């Protein structure tokens, strides 16, 4: 759960699920999803299909967008009301496509935070990277982007956590985007064809939100 201070400054929260493996992009299309009763029929009819090709399939259901290539599946939403439905949809889709080998997954949380003025905005950068090292090298140094990795998750599923902080491309001025990649991989002994990653998604869904909310709250308070 996010702190009250953070909730107040949070302007937009988005979520994406990224899967890495071997996919057949042309299978996953709006009418296939409707035929499996995973979305409403009118959603399939009104879906905005940008591209269907052997190499890439890209469409927008209005509440979620899909981009599927042979190596990468990404589904994302910028509407918090659909966070749970996108998880259900991914689990059900790969329940039907059970043989699809999937070896990694990212549950990506993006927070767009609005800071009150330019002083506070630049202070965030100063707090993330102390600048004295640049004295005499660069005049008035400003932080553009930073990425921090926690390399080894010490839980059932191997993986990592990566935090990227950069100016928000949606909240201007003084908006900062915090992107948190909660990354899971299969164990070396697994082949990814037996629903390992879907099990990781189901069993880590709530944990991922708790972990990320706690991380964001602590980080925000320190900045």
Q: Which of 23, 82, 157, 174 binds other proteins (CB under 8 A)?
A: 82
Q: Is 164 an interacting residue with respect to other proteins (CB under 8 A)?
A: yes
Q: Which of 22, 45, 55, 84 binds other proteins (CB under 8 A)?
A: 84
Q: Is 204 an interacting residue with respect to other proteins (CB under 8 A)?
A: no
Residue carrying structure tokens 């409403």:
40
Q: Which of 25, 30, 44, 106 binds other proteins (CB under 8 A)?
A: 106
Q: Which of 3, 9, 32, 79 binds other proteins (CB under 8 A)?
A: 79
Size of the site for other proteins (CB under 8 A): 55
Candidate segments 38-46, 117-125, 127-135, 215-223, binder of other proteins by CB under 8 A: 38-46
Question: What one-character-per-residue DSSP string does the chain give?
Answer: ---HHHHHHEEEEEEEEEEEE---TTT--HHHHHHTTSS-HHHHHT-EEEEE-SSEEEEE-SS-EEEEESSEEEEEES-GGGHHHHHHHHHHHHHHTTT--EEEEEEEEEEEEE-SSHHHHHHHHHHHS--GGGTTTSSS-----EEEEE----SSS-EEEEEEEEE-SSSTTTEEEEEEEEEEE--TT--S-SSHHHHHHHHHHHHHHHHHHHHHHHHHHH-
Residues in region 169-198 near other proteins by CB under 8 A: 169-170, 172, 177, 179, 181, 183-185
Q: Is 143 an interacting residue with respect to other proteins (CB under 8 A)?
A: no
| Residues of the shown chain interacting with other proteins in the complex, contacts defined by CB under 8 A | 1, 7, 11-12, 14, 16, 18-20, 36-40, 42, 60, 65, 67, 72, 74, 76, 78-85, 88-89, 91-92, 95-96, 104-106, 108, 110, 112, 162, 164, 166, 168-170, 172, 177, 179, 181, 183-185, 206
């Amino acid at each position: 759960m996010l702190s009250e201070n953070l909730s107040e400054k949070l302007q937009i929260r988005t979520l994406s699920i990224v899967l890495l493996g071997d996919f057949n992009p042309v299978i996953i299309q709006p009418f296939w999803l409707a035929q499996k009763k995973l979305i409403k029929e009118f959603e399939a009819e009104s879906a905005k299909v940008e591209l269907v090709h052997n190499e890439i399939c890209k469409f927008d259901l209005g509440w979620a967008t899909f981009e599927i290539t042979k190596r990468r599946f990404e589904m994302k939403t910028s509407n918090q009301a659909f966070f749970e439905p996108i998880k259900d949809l991914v689990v059900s889709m790969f329940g039907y496509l059970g043989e699809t080998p999937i070896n990694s997954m990212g549950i990506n949380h993006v927070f767009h935070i609005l800071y009150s003025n330019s002083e506070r905005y630049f202070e965030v950068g100063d707090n993330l990277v102390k600048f004295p090292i640049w004295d005499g090298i660069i005049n008035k140094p400003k932080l553009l982007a930073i990425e921090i990795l926690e390399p080894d998750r010490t839980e059932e599923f191997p993986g990592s956590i990566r935090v990227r902080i950069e100016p928000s491309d949606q909240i201007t001025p003084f908006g900062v985007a915090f992107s948190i990649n909660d990354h899971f991989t299969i164990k070396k002994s697994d082949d990814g064809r037996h629903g390992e990653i879907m099990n990781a998604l189901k069993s880590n869904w709530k944990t991922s939100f708790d972990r990320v909310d706690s991380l964001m709250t602590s980080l925000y308070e320190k900045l």
